[in-house]
Homo-oligomer: A and B are copies of this chain.
Amino acid sequence: MPMPRVIFASTRDSDMHYAVKTPITSSFFYLEIGNRKLALLDKRDFGLLRFILRPNLRIKEIALEPLFEKAGKLKHKTSDRNKLAYLIFKKYGLMGRKVQVPIHFPLDMADFLRARGAKLVPTFPFFPERARKTKEEISCIEENLTHTKLAFRTIENILRRSKIKKNRIYYQNKIITSEFLKQEVEKALVEKGMFDMLGMIISSGEQTAIPHHIGTGPIRPHQPIVCDIFPRHRQSGYFSDMTRTYVKGNPSEKIMRMYKAVLKAQLAAMKKIPVSPAGGRAGVRAKEIYEAAASVIIKSGFDVGEIGLTHGLGHGVGLDIHEKPSLKPLSEDILEAGNIITVEPGLYYPGIGGVRIEDMILVTKTGFKNLTNYPKKLIIP
């Protein structure tokens, strides 16, 4: 019998969201014991699961109220929720047994339970199956990408219809800023039931040399504009993630060379994904994909490490924007059919700028499918 699993969180926690598939704003307890799945909720949220939950999940909803009263009588100096956790562990025979909890299980709750005999095993990934997307999850993410591509189209249209004057770009007689472009993207996403939960990147000029700079102020002509948009679908909770780099005007020779190298590295990395040419199962090591990209970068005369390609090549995407597998240089992950990963090489040089191109790839049994499938053009005239 597998170890029992316990989560205490709201569905802001992606493991909890994966478990119940219903957004619930307050924290509650989720238990898996053998074949039983239980959600212990307080009265405000009781009924929510029944109301929205897909019947095939077969999670039993249990009201916390009877335990509230008992908890009120406990004399321990701790929070009510810790007392509830203790009563739940006792009630369901979880004391003294090994129980898996996510690594974000509250530390004070863990301490309180352990002092009373709980054997908690912090586990990551908590649901390893999250890395292998089902058909349903794949179509969620494909739909998200359709909407995200519309957002890129919006940016391209604005830039195409704009004019350069001195060191600024004007659209409908106003200076284009990062803030303006982000707002236009947000509006386009909202119309499609998506939203920018984590804060997209639309940076330009010097800012682009810092990969995570979100971008502020006027967009620079003749310099890179990095657009990295990773919105979430409100209903399903799934993310998409894609990046394009543009230049309005005439990029420098150096930026054009960087762009070509990044594009070449991306294609080389993708080609590595079908490891088993005879049509067997996927099974390439994630770091080999990284290495394929890094080697193209170096052969193209650029750097890997402190400067140049400074970050990993990609990551899984699902209910978290970064999840398994990881395509970092030291990753021990092995790609499997059903993984949805980003392939996003980039080059960053302070004083010059940055370039990044990112697609989402489905790993299949025989190779890969580019789910993004969207044009890559640096220059917007």
Residues of A within 8 A of B (CB): 12, 23-26, 43-45, 47-48, 51-52, 65, 72, 79-80, 101-111, 120, 122, 124, 179, 183, 186-187, 190-191, 193, 195-199, 207, 210-214, 216, 234, 306, 310-311, 330
Contact = CB atoms under 8 A, between A and B. Distances in A.
Nearest to A71: B330
A120 B103 contact: no
B330 A72 contact: yes
Contacts of A120: 107
Instruction: Please tell me how many copies of the chain the complex holds.
Output: 2
27 contacts: A24-B212, A25-B199, A25-B212, A43-B306, A43-B310, A44-B210, A44-B211, A44-B212, A44-B310, A44-B311, A47-B210, A48-B212, A51-B210, A52-B216, A65-B306, A79-B124, A103-B106, A103-B109, A107-B107, A107-B110, A108-B124, A111-B122, A183-B193, A186-B190, A186-B195, A187-B187, A187-B191
Nearest to A192: B183
A72 B190 CA distance: 43
Contact of A183 (B107, B190, B199): B190
The 4 closest A-B CB pairs, nearest first, are A107-B122, A108-B122, A186-B190, A103-B108
Nearest to A79: B124
B198 A25 contact: yes
Q: SS class of chain A's interface: helix, strand, loop or mixed?
A: loop
Contacts of A311: 44
Nearest to A232: B197
A197 B199 contact: no
Nearest to A120: B107
A299 to B, nearest CB: 22
B213 A48 contact: yes
Given A104-B107, A183-B190, A196 B195 contact: yes
B23 A199 contact: yes
Nearest to A45: B212
Contacts of A195: 186, 195-197
Nearest to A209: B47
Given A190-B187, A306-B43, A199 B101 contact: no
Nearest to A101: B107
Contacts of A105: 107
A213 B124 CA distance: 31
Nearest to A107: B122
A306 B47 CA distance: 13
A65 B311 CA distance: 12
A44 B211 CA distance: 6
A295 B101 CA distance: 41
Contacts of A103: 106-109
